[in-house]
Amino acid sequence: MLTMLTALAQNSGGGGGIAAILVLLIWLAIIVLVIAGLWMTFSKAGQPGILAIIPIVNLYFLCKIGGRPGWWVILFLIPIVSIVIAAIVSIDVAKSFGKGVGFGIGLWLLGPIFYCILGFGSAQYQGPAAA
């Protein structure tokens, strides 16, 4: 069995390298979209955009933009709880920009797209929604 797998791996033709590069480029494009959308969202909310690229700090400022206390970042570190907290914070961020619950669910589930819409669109920051 092992010899058959080795033979298959050696005769694969090298297409895996091209596929890996393609996946890497798509992944990098998604990362750039997330950073750009968050950067502009932070800027609209009066926060420095550079904070969007610092992992834990961006969660802290998203909580602040949504009107939630900063200690909620700790809740993001608890596995199952983090899913619920991410949904709540996303909805609060959407409300802080005058958007509805549906847009907040979009922020939660399709962040790269919806943060770009929020950051580059016409939405204006109206203050923390949860305050």
* For the chain, domain boundaries: 16-120
The conformation of residue 47, written as its DSSP 8-state character, comes to S
pLDDT of 14 reads 61
Residue pLDDT, tens place only, 46-60: 999 999 999 999 999
pLDDT digits (tens, 9 = 90+) for 15-57: 678 989 999 999 999 999 889 999 999 999 999 999 999 999 9
Strand intervals (E) in 27-90: none
The answer to whether residue 10 scores a pLDDT higher than 60 is: no
CA torsion angle for 78, 81, 87, 89 (degrees, to 10)? Answer: -60
